[in-house]
Structure 1
Amino acid sequence: MRHSIKLYILTAVICILALAVVQFFLVYNTYQLLDSRFNYVERGRIGESYNLAVANDKLFPGGQPLIDSIIVPQYAYLENLYKTNHHHFDTAAQHLVNRIILELVRHENTDSMLKAIKAKNGIKDSLLYALCIHRLDIKFADNQFVNVYNRFKKYPLIPGSRQQDMGLYICGNLHQLRENNAASSLVASSPLPYSYSLSFSFYADPYNRITQVLYQMKYTILQGILTLLAVIILISITLYKWIRQKHLSDMKSDFINNITHEFNTPITAIIIANKNLRNEKTLDNKQSITTLSDIISRQAERLKLLVERVINIAASEKLELNTVPADLNELIAEILNVYSLNNANTTVNFSFHPSSTAALIDMDTFHFTTLLQNLLDNAVKYNDQAAKKISITTQLQKDQLELIVQDNGIGMSPYALLHIFEKFYRHQPRLSKPTKGLGLGLYYVKQCVDAHSWKIRVNSEPGNGSTFIITIPFKI
C-alpha cells in the first residue's frame, strides 16, 4: 500500500509539472503573440512630431550639417577609390561611417527633442527610445548611388554592425527594436550628383511595455493559474481521502483483531471453567464449584458488556439521552468509590476536588458514568509510573462548570491528539505492558459530550501526562 501511495504521489507530481509546463508555454506563446502585435497608442503622435522636428534635417536637429561636414569633403576621394580599387573603397567607406557615427553620438540632442515632443503632446508616460541608421548610400557624378552601409550586412571595421540587423545605434535606451515600436522611418535623399541617401528610424516604447502586455493577458494567466490550482487541489483531496480511507481500514482491522482477542479471553475462561466443572474431583469439592461458577458468571457478564458496548457504540452515531437532574459532585464520588473497589489491587491514587457549590446538572447518569469510567480506564492503562495518580476536579468558571480529569501517565503526541476521538483509533505508545482495547472508549466519550451539548478539550505532551477538560453550561 505504501508503494501504491508513493507511486500515486510521483505520478501526480509528474502530471502537475507537465501541466505547469504546458500552461507556461501557452502563456509564453500568447505573450510573444501579443508582444509582436503590441501597439502603443501615443506612438503615432510621437512619430508625427518627430517628422516635423527633422523635416529639414536628418536624425535630430542639427544632424544634417554635421553629416555634410564629414561626407562632402570626401566625395572626390571616395569616387576615385571606387573607380580604381574597390577594396580600398570599402575600407575608406567603413572608416567614414565610423567617423559619422562617432560625431553623431557626440553631438546628438535626441533626449531634449523627445522631452519637447512629450510636452507638446501632453504625454505623461515614461518612454524608452532609440535612434538608428539603417542605410547610407553616396551618389557620385554619374548619379548612381553606391552603398556605403546596409544594416543587413556585417562590416569588420564597423563594430555596431555586428550586434544586430536593426541598424547602427546613435542614441537611446531601447534595445529591443521591432517593427511595431518604430515611431518614424524616413529616407532622406537628393536627386543632385555628389549627394547621399540616408535611411533611419526613431523608435519609442513605453517603459512598462511588458506590464501592459501582461495586463492584456490577465485572463489567460488567471485561467492557467486557476486550472493548475484546481488540479493540485483535486489531486490533494483525492490523496487525502485515499490516505484517510487507508487509515480507517487499518483502524477497522485493528478493531477486529482487538475485539477478537477481547471476546476470546472470556470465552476461553468460560470453556476452561466449564471443562473443570465436569471433572469428578471438582464435583466433590463445593468450594471449587463455587469458584468456577463465579468465574463463568464474571466472564459471561464481561462478554455481555463487550457485546453491548460494541453494539451501542459501533452501530450508533448519536447517543439517545434520558436526562435527569443530578449533583455532579455526588455522582463522581459514587463512581470513584466503585472504581476504587474494582481496582483495589492496583497502585492507583485517586483524588477528588469538588466545587464548593453543589453542581446540579441535567444529564444522563448512565452515559456519564460510562464516560468517566472510560477516562479513568485510559488514565490507568496508559501509565507506566510506579505510583499512578489521577486527579478529578470540578470548578465553576463564570456561567460554566469544568470537569477536569488529570493523570501522570505517558501523555500523547500532537498526532494522537488529532485522532483520539475517532472511532476505532487506538493510541499505541511504547509501554512496559501491551494495552488492550477496542478503540471505542474516547469515541464514546466524545459522543456523550456532544449528545449533552458540552465541550471537551485535551492538553497533553509525551511524558507529561494528559488533562481532559469537559466544559458544562451551568447557572447558579
Structure 2
Amino acid sequence: MKDRIYKAVVLVSFLILLLVQFRLTYNSYVLRDRDYSLKEKTLINDEYGRSIPEDKVYKGGGKIIDSILIKNMPALKNAYLSNRHEFIKLSQSVSNSLLKKLQKESTMDSVFQSIVKRNGLDSNLQYLLTFQQIDINFDTKIGDITIFNNHTPTGFKADQKTPFGIIIDGTLTHPTVQNRITNLSVSGNLVYNYRITFNLFVDQPGRTLKVAYQMLPTFLLVALCILIIVGINYYTYISWMRQKKETDIKSDFLNSIKHEFNTPITTILLASKSLHENEVLSDRNRVNTLVNIVERQARRLHSHINQMLGVSEMNNHINLEETDLNYIVLTLVNDYKIKIQAPDRLTFDPYDSEILVMLDPFVFTTMLQNIIDNAFKHNQSDVKITMIFITKSKDGYTLHIKDNGKGIEADVKEKIFDKFFRGVKDNTVSGLGLGLYYVKQCLDIHGWKISIRTTPEQGTEFLVHIPVNQININ
C-alpha cells in the first residue's frame, strides 16, 4: 500500500512539474513569437500608413469604395426603413460587388514591394490584405448599421476567407494575431457616413520554425532539467526500494538468528541447569546424555557463526589446487549420504573421464554442500531425491544438482542469491539466508557462473558452469 502511495505521489508531482515547465516554455514561446521582427513590423506599419495617406486599403481603394457605396446608399436606406429582408439581400449584393472589385483592381502588390525595396527588407516577406467589416450610417439616431462582417454570407470560396475577413490580395497562408501588422478602421463621408475595417498581415516563410530555433536553448535547458529531475526521482525511488529491501532482509535475518541461536542456547542452559542437580550427577548415563546435548548444540552455534564469518573472510583465504571434479564431488556425496534416511536418495553420476579443475577444495565442498542442504531442506516430497551429474559443452563443463522439490517461484528466483534472503518465512525451516549467498561468492572467486532451471511443483536444477580454460582433461 505504501509503495503504491509513494509511486502515485511521485507521478503526480512529476506531472505537475511537467505541466508547469510546459506552461512556462509555451508562454516564453508566445512572447518570443509576438515580438518576432518587432522593428520590421513597426516599420512596415508606418510605411504602409504613409503609402496610403488619403486613401483606403491601397492606392485607389478609396475611389472604388466610394463609387460603389455612393450609388447604393439611397437604396440601402429605403430598404432598411421599409423592408429588412430586402435590405439584407441588397447589403450582401453591394458587399460582394465591392469586395470583388477591390480584389480585381488591387494595387497592393506594388505598394508592398515598394515598401520592401525602399527600406531594404527581406525580399522573401509575404503579405495578406483582408477586408473585415463595412458599417454605414443613415441617421445619427439610428447609429451604425453593419452590412458586412465575418458572419455575413457571401459568394466567396473557402480559400478566400479567413477569420479576419475576405482576402483582397497577398500570398501569406496563415494570418494570425502575431503576424498582423495593422488593423485599421477608417471613415468616409458621402451623402451618408460609412466606416470600413481591414487588416494587413506580413510574415516570413517558416516563421514558426525560426522562432522555435531561437527558443532551442530554452527547450534544451527545460529538457535537461526534466531529465535531471526524472533521474533524481528514479535514483531516489531505487535507493528507497533498495533500503526497504535491505531492511526487510535484515529483519528476516534477525528473526532467523533469533530462532537459530535461541534454540541451541536455551537447550544448553537447560542441560547445564540439569547438571547441577545431585540425582543427575549420580547417574553417569544421564550426565553423558546431557553433555552430548550441550556438545551438539554448541557445534550448531559454532556452525552458524562460522558460516557468517566465512562469507566475509572468504576472499582473503582462497587456495586453488588442481583437483579432480569427479573425485571431490563423489567424496562429498558419500559423506552426505550418511545423514540421509531412506527412502530419500542422493545420487551422483561421475563423468566418464578425469576432469582436473583449479579450485579451493574447502570452499568448493562447502558451496556444493549448501546447494544439497537446500535441495533436501526445502523439499516437501514424500520421497526426496537429489541427482548430481556432469555434462560437457563447447564452453566447458556443467555440474548439475537437480531435485524433485516444489521448485522456485519466478519472483523469488532472482533474489535467492542475495545476502540474508530467505524465500521461506517459516521459522520451522532453519537457516540464516546465507547459504546460497555463500554459493554465489564461491563461484565468483572461482570465476564460474551459476544458473537455475525451475518449475513450480516440479523441482529445481542448479547448473554450475566451469569454463574450459580452467579445465585439464586426462
Instruction: Output the TM-score relative to the length of structure 1.
Output: 0.74
Counterpart CA distance in 2 for 1:41 and 1:348 is 94
Matched-pair contact (CA < 8 Å) for 1:130–1:175: no
The within-5 A match list for 1:9-408 is: 9=7, 11-39=9-37, 70-74=68-72, 98-103=92-97, 108=103, 129=128, 131-133=130-132, 157-160=147-150, 168-170=165-167, 176-178=175-177, 180-182=179-181, 200-205=198-203, 209-277=207-275, 286-313=284-311, 315-316=312-313, 318=315, 320-343=317-340, 345=341, 347-408=343-404
Letter paired with 1:235: N
1:404-446 deviation line (CA, Å, top 9, x unaligned): 22222222223212221111111127x8x94221010111011
Say if 1:328 and 1:361, in contact at 8 Å, map to a contact too.
yes
2:352 and 2:95 mapped to 1: Cα distance?
100
Do the aligned residues in 2 keep the contact of 1:321 with 1:364 (CA within 8 Å)? yes
Evaluate the alpha carbon distance shift between residue 274 and residue 192 of structure 1 in structure 2; reply closer, same or farther with a 3 A threshold.
closer
* C-alpha distance 457-319 of structure 1, shift in aligned 2 (>3 A): farther
Give the superposition deviation at 1:362.
Answer: 0.9
Q: In structure 2, what is the Cα distance between the partners aligned to 1:444 and 1:154?
A: 95
The whole-number CA distance in structure 2 between the counterparts of 1:302 and 1:252 is: 21
**8 Å contact kept, 2:387–2:402:** yes
**TM-score, length basis structure 2:** 0.74
Q: Is the 8 A contact 1:61 1:109 kept in 2?
A: no
- Assess if the C-alpha contact under 8 Å between 2:150 and 2:163 holds in 1: no
Specify the SS of the correspondent of 2:179: helix
- Kept in 2: contact 1:379–1:407 (CA 8 A): yes
* Structure-1 separation of matches of 2:385 and 2:57: 96
CA distance in 1, matches of 2:194, 2:318: 106
Matched-pair contact (CA < 8 Å) for 2:371–2:436:
yes
Shift of 1:237: 1.5
Which letter does structure 1 place at the counterpart of 2:450?
I
| TM-superposition CA deviations, 1:210-242 (whole Å, max 9, x none) | 444333322222322322232232122212212
Query: How far off is 1:133 after superposition?
Result: 4.3
Q: CA deviation at 1:281?
A: 5.6
Structure 2 residue aligned with 1:451: 445
Pair 470,167 (structure 1): closer, same or farther in 2 beyond 3 Å: closer
| In structure 1, C-alpha distance between the alignment counterparts of 2:353 and 2:400, rounded to whole Å | 16
Identify which range, 375-384 or 190-199, moves more after superposition. 190-199
Any idea what the Cα deviations from partners look like across 1:263-312, whole Å, max 9, x if unmatched? Answer: 22223333344445555665565554444433333222222222211222
Structure 1's 41 and 409: CA in aligned 2 closer, same or farther, altered over 3 A? Answer: farther
Shift of 1:68: 6.6
Output the aligned Cα RMSD: 5.0
The 8 Å contact of residues 407 and 466 in structure 1, kept in 2 or not, is answered as yes
The letter of the residue matching 1:393 is F
Q: Which amino acid aligns with 1:374?
A: N
- Quote the offset at 1:41 in angstroms: 12
The DSSP-based 3-state class of the residue aligned with 2:322 is: strand
Tell whether the 8 Å contact from 2:324 to 2:357 is kept in structure 1 after alignment: yes
8 Å contact from structure 1 (residues 31, 213) kept in 2:
yes
CA distance in 1, matches of 2:342, 2:307: 24
Is contact 2:135–2:145 with CA below 8 Å preserved after alignment?
Answer: no
- Count residues in correspondence: 446
d(CA) in 1 for partners of 2:147, 2:185: 24
**Alignment of 1:442 onto 2:456:** no
CA 1:110–1:250: 2 relative to 1, 3 Å: farther
CA pair 458-207 structure 1, distance change in 2 beyond 3 A? farther
Aligned to 2:159: none
Paired residue for 1:416?
412
Tell me if the contact between 2:134 and 2:148 (Cα under 8 Å) persists in the aligned partners.
no
> Given residue 178 of structure 1, which amino acid in structure 2 is its aligned partner?
V
| Deviation, structure 1 residue 26 | 0.8
CA distance in 2, matches of 1:253, 1:154: 86
The farther-off stretch of 223-232 and 206-215 is 206-215
Between the aligned partners of 1:124 and 1:436, the Cα distance in structure 2 is: 87
Distance across 2 between alignment mates of 1:186 and 1:267: 100
Q: Which runs of 4+ in 1 moved over 6 A?
A: 40-44, 57-66, 85-96, 123-128, 135-138, 184-199
Check whether the contact 2:136–2:144 (CA below 8 A) recurs between aligned residues: no
User: What 5-or-longer segments of structure 2 have no aligned partner?
Assistant: 154-161
Identity, in percent, stands at 31
Q: CA deviation at 1:365?
A: 0.5
Letter in 1 for 2:36: F
- Name the counterpart of 1:428: 424
C-alpha contact 1:130 1:174 (8 A) present in aligned 2 = no
Question: How far apart, in 2, do the equivalents of 1:287 and 1:186 lie?
Answer: 121
Q: For the structure 1 residues 355 and 58, does the alpha-carbon distance in structure 2 shift closer, same or farther, using more than 3 Å as the test?
A: farther
> Are 1:154 and 1:161, in contact at CA under 8 Å, matched by a contact in 2?
no
Q: CA–CA distance in 2 between the matches of 1:402 and 1:110? A: 93
- Asked if the contact 2:407–2:457 (Cα under 8 Å) also holds between the matched residues in 1, the reply is yes
